[in-house]
Every structure is written in C-alpha cells, then in structure tokens.
Structure 1
Amino acid sequence: MIDQRTVQLVFADLQDSIVALSRTNAPETIRRSAGVLGGIAQTLDIPFTVSVAPRPGGPGVIAELPETPPFVRSGPCCWDDPAWREAIDAEARKTLAICGVTSEIVVLHTALDALADGYDVIVLVDASGGLSERTENAALRQIEAAGGTVTSVASFVTSMVRDFSNPTGRNVITTLHDLIG
C-alpha cells in the first residue's frame, strides 16, 4: 500500500507535439491517463509538477493536465532543472510517481536520478509513451533494476485508496472509470 501523503506526481514532456511521437501507447491513452492522474491529484491533494522541454511556439502542454505553470528545462532530465528540483524538495514527499513521453529519455533519466538521490520512484506506464516497444522496455527494465516500480495508473491509485464506500473513495473509483474511455 502507498501512503498518499508521501507521493508527488511528475508530468514530464506531456506536450502536444511530443505526446504525438509515442509509438508504444496511443496518444489518446496517454492523454486520458494523465487527465485521470490530474483529477486524482486534486481529489487526494497530491502535489504535482509539470516539466516540459523547450518547443517552438511555447510549451504546448496537453489540455488534460491540471492548470499550473510548467517548468521549462534545458535538457533531457527533470532532475537537472534547479527550479524544478527546488519545488520537488520543498514538498518533502519522497515518492515520485512519474509519467511522460518519452520513456527512454525524460522518464528514464529522471527516475534514475531520483532513485540515486534516495527517492522512491513509480513509473506509470499507461500515462507514458516510448519511441519503440523494444527501447521502452529496456528503459523500464533499467528503472526496475535500479529499484523503481513500474505499474499502471489504476494499480497506483488503488494502492493509495482502498475504501470506495466513503465520498473520497467513490470519487476516486468514478474518476478511474474514465480510463476506459
């Protein structure tokens, strides 16, 4: 079971022009899963950050994410962005649930660096996408070998919320139904 009070969400490179590059998850699946995560974050009061790669014409963050100013970084890893790291450290929550495109770049490097710095890492595969099945699987194996967990949005959320009979639980299970699309 995951204690939601220890979790923060990381949305990485969930930008229109980058999500469209996914070859392992349909862009619609990534968008829907990320939207569900955003709703769950708000319901459970889980802090989140949006980190983006610089793009011509601006960040172009997908509309499904909750409204927040994105952190625009200069390289392939959220961990290298001092402003983003400051925001993560300020929350003092040691479990990072990461999703994004691409799994082989931003998700991999952010996960490995977070693990090396003592964070627990959970990668949410249905809200992430890779360049190919082969290369994404290699990245996910690296994350698991380093101590990270790879799971789905539904498994992650239901590990935090185990009672669907109260108002919060009913809201969570109703939100999870949106994964079916």
Structure 2
Amino acid sequence: MRILPEDSLVMVVDYQERLMPAMANQEALLIQATRWLLGVKLLGIPTILTQQNTKGLGMSVEAIRSLLGSEKPYFEKIAFSALADEAILREVESQGRGTLVLGGIEAHVCVLQTAIDAKALGYEVVVVSDCIDSRNPRDKEIALRRMEQEGIWLTTSESILLEWLQRAGDDRFREMLKIIK
C-alpha cells in the first residue's frame, strides 16, 4: 500500500510536559518527532493534536506546540484511545482521509489503543516507529509487534516523508533534505 499525502491525516498523541521526561529515549524521540512534524508542515498534511488529562500531564512540549502553531487547538482526552472521544472522532471523520498516521506516547497505551480503534473503524493506520516511545523499551517493542499483528503499518519518519514527497529535484525536496539530514 502506498501512503498518499492527499489521503493522510496525522495524529500527534500526547507529547506532554510531564510525560515526555519519563520516556526511555526522550531526546531521540523529540528530535525525530520534530523532524517529522517539520516535514508534515512543509507538505501541508492536516494534523490533529491530542493531550491526555492536560491538568495532570501538562501541555504538549514546547517544541511540538511551536511547530504546530499556537492557533492549532489541542483535543483533550481522558480515554487512552483518542478515538473513544467523540470530538476527536468527529474531527478525524470530518477530514475525509482514509489513512491515519500516528506518532506519540506512550506506544503501548494511547498510541496502540488509538491505532487498533482506527483500524476497527476502517482506516488504514500507519505508526511512525521512531516517533513513538514508552517508559520501558520492552513495552514499546511488544506494542510494535502487537500493531503488526493487528494489521497496522509501521514506518519511519524519513521513509514516510519521502513517500509523501514522491520525487526529488524540486524546491520541496531541497527543503525536505534540510529537515531530514
């Protein structure tokens, strides 16, 4: 299956201030997520930002918020699956896209449950594996295996950005190279 930009919707799951420091590979995660979202922005892929229990876990980290812009509202959620929230589900459906592309934390909880629910709703689901993490590396490893068993596609940030771009030799490609290098 080709992942097409015109059919893709990005969901940024819970990269929050009090949760991010607990991630096993937080520095690498933030670098990759930032690169990925810069590329998403360059390509104009629509994006939904979620936050789990903002009162308890804080806002999305500044690096993510600044990339998405302060005018980009976040969707508050309490359920682990973002799609268990009616407002988020309506927003996803209103975009009219068939492929949901996920990055976020934690891999074995909110990302996994959102991915499984999206698959059950008929979406093609792609998880950007270098843009997810868990507190415990084993939890991430098992989550990735479970996702594959559920029929969820796994990719990397560079791979999906270049798949969405589709070709070299123009200004967007040169801009993308600056992002991924």
Tell me if both proteins adopt one fold, taking TM over 0.5 as the criterion: yes
Shift of 1:133: 2.2
> TM-score normalized by structure 1?
0.90
1:17 maps to which residue? Answer: 18
Aligned-partner SS, 2:19: helix
1:118 maps to which residue? Answer: 122
CA shift digits 1:134-159 (9 cap, x unpaired): 22121111111111111210111112
> TM-score normalized by structure 2?
0.90
* Aligned partner letter, 1:9: V
Shift of 1:113: 0.4
2: CA distance between counterparts of 1:2 and 1:172?
17
Gaps (5+ residues) in structure 2? none
Query: 1:71-110 counterparts in 2 under 5 A?
Result: 71-110=75-114
* Aligned partner letter, 1:101: I
2:179 maps to which residue? Answer: 175
Relative to total residues, which structure has the larger strand share, 1 or 2?
A: 2
1:94/1:120 contact within 8 Å kept: yes
1:6/1:93 contact within 8 Å kept: yes
* Aligned partner letter, 1:118: G
Shift of 1:58: 7.1
Shift of 1:59: 3.6
Given the alignment, which residue of 139, 145, 161 partners 1:157? 161
1:139 maps to which residue? Answer: 143
CA shift digits 1:51-92 (9 cap, x unpaired): 111133774211222121110111211011111111111111
1:42 maps to which residue? Answer: 41
Q: After TM superposition, where is structure 1 displaced by more than 3 Å over at least 4 residues in a row?
A: 55-59
Query: Identity rate of aligned residues, in percent?
Result: 22
Gaps (5+ residues) in structure 1? none
2: CA distance between counterparts of 1:19 and 1:35?
13
> Aligned residue pairs: how many?
175
> What RMSD over aligned residues (CA atoms) do the two structures have, in Å?
1.5
Change (3 A) 1:136 1:168: same
Aligned-partner SS, 1:17: coil
2: CA distance between counterparts of 1:60 and 1:21?
15
* Aligned partner letter, 1:7: S
Shift of 1:30: 1.6
2: CA distance between counterparts of 1:37 and 1:6?
17
